[in-house]
Structure 1
Amino acid sequence: MKLTSLFSLFLLAALMFACGPEGEKVESSEALAEAETTTAAAAYTVDPAMSIINWEGTKLVGGGHEGTINISSGRIALANNNIVGGDFTVDMTSLANTDLEAGNGKEKLEGHLKSGDFFNVEEYPTATFNVVSAQPVPAGNEGPATHQVTGNFTMKGQTRSIAIPVIVSMDGDMLKIASNDFVIDRTEWGVNYGADGSVADLAKDNIINDNVGLVLQIVAKK
């Protein structure tokens, strides 16, 4: 059997059995018009020290990495125990890997992800999420989510609307918003390997799973 045929069979097998990140796939759409927040809403300020995004990236041929990104600021508006507005800012320069040890590839991977090859944090140091609406999840629906929060997510200068199932709870004067694992397609925000579109970059990008797993945790205080 020719080497090209062997390679094709290997690649096909890898694609068939490759595992992507865990979580519900969240589809994106065109940006939505943002709603005005009622003056009667109570304002909660996001606590960056208690808020975080966990991420997971995988390869079609197996393996992958995971890490965190800090939430640097934000506010959530609450009226009659319902989220009626808000936004938060993600510090893309804080992107960190957590599965590699320092001196053993950690710094190289972080630099690679922050470079123009992927998130280009020098040009786009922040990402933002602006709440458009939040609807309670009907009783009896599967899963622990209490609300579905729809908003405009802007990353690398591109804005797309997504709806994230979350658990909303109160703990004293703290408002907590936590998601289960969910997945977005990075390419819909222009996050592709390399900026010049060379054949080599396209080949490398095709090995990386388009889907990125995320888990969101926000704590906001009155």
Structure 2
Amino acid sequence: MKKTIKNLAILVLAVVVTSAFTNYKGEKKQVKVDHSKVVWKGYKVLGSHEGTVQLKSGILEFDKEKLTGGEFVIDMTSLVSTDLEGSDSKAKLEGHLKSDDFFGVEKYPTSSLVFTKVKASGKNAYDVTGDLTIKGKTHAVTFTMSIYGSKANAALKIDRTKFDIQYGSPNFFDNLKDKAIYDEFDIVVDLEF
């Protein structure tokens, strides 16, 4: 009997120690890609262009109500311009953005974002660091994400030159004058899960 109680105590201790050092992953919530929106905006000396790109998949991880992680795949082939509706310039811009000068979607049809660190910064806000992969190159990005019920939003500023997208950059080409395209572009994300 003493031996049985001792073995049971050792087993309980082993379970407690193991669970204390095991990472709790919590609940994974699928992002409803058809109800979510990703808007991009790029800037040049003489103006800007904007459009959308679709999520292929997305997951947000929670421990109870607290955001703990996330992972997204972006369908780069879905990239479209929304500021040039109904014009020949629209097809030309979209084709150029999908070419090797920019996102090279034939070779790199998807991009991804994997959260590596999430820290609460307010009641519904989180400071997020993640690994962003575009054109096979991965760099860390930081941004704030807000969560309200089953919705989340975030805004990211991305330096395209880190991902080998140098076309029209005044940091790589001289004498561009009014044809220069700024290195940073914006992404605004509205998610439903």
Q: Which residue of 2 is the match for residue 44 of structure 1?
A: 29
Give 2:121's aligned amino acid.
Answer: V
8 Å CA contact 1:46, 1:219 repeated in 2: yes
Q: 1:151 aligns with which of 123, 130, 133?
A: 130
Q: Does 1:202 align with 2:173?
A: yes
Aligned equivalents of 1:188 and 1:37: distance in 2? 32
Cα displacement (A) at 1:154: 0.6
Between 210-219 and 110-119, the greater mean CA deviation after superposition? 210-219
TM-score (norm 2): 0.79
Identical columns (%) = 35
Runs of 4+ in 1 over 3 A off after TM superposition: 201-206
Give the distance between the partners of 2:187 and 2:49, measured in 1 at CA.
Answer: 12
User: CA contact under 8 A between 1:37 and 1:77: conserved in structure 2?
Assistant: no
Question: How do 1:153-192 residues align onto structure 2 when only pairs under 5 Å count?
Answer: 153-170=132-149, 175-180=150-155, 182-192=156-166
Query: Which of residues 174, 189, 193 is equivalent to 1:216?
Result: 189
The gaps in structure 1 that reach 5 residues or longer are: 1-35, 140-144, 195-200
Give the deviation of 1:37 after TM superposition: 6.2
Pairing of 1:96-111 with structure 2 (within 5 A): 96-111=80-95
Q: How far apart are the structure 1 equivalents of 2:97 and 2:130?
A: 25
The AA in structure 2 aligned to 1:211 is: E
Amino acid paired to 2:151: K
2:56 partner letter: S
Counterpart residue identity of residue 119, structure 2: Q
Give a deviation string over 1:117-172, Cα, whole Å, max 9, x none: 11000010000011112111147xxxxx71111111111111111111121121xx
Q: Partners of 1:158 and 1:176 in 2: how far apart? A: 29
- Return the alpha-carbon distance in structure 2 between the equivalents of residues 50 and 37 of structure 1: 31
Aligned pairs for 1:3-152 (under 5 A) are 38-39=24-25, 41-60=26-45, 62-138=46-122, 146-152=125-131
Give the structure with higher Rg (CA). 2
What SS does the corresponding residue of 2:132 show, helix, strand or coil?
Answer: strand
- The letter for the 2-side match of 1:178 is N
AA in 2 matched with 1:187: T
Contact 2:27 2:64 in 1 (8 A): no
**Secondary structure, counterpart of 2:88 in structure 1:** coil
Q: Secondary structure of the residue that 1:121 maps to in structure 2?
A: coil
Distance change in 2, residues 1:37/1:177 (3 Å):
farther
Q: CA RMSD in A?
A: 2.2
Deviations along 1:75-105, whole A, 9 cap, x unmatched? Answer: 1111121122220101111000000022331
Output the TM-score relative to the length of structure 1: 0.69
Contact in 2 for aligned 1:37/1:85 (Cα 8 Å): no
- Report the alpha carbon displacement of residue 210 of structure 1 after superposing the two structures with TM: 0.5
Give the partner amino acid of 1:47: K
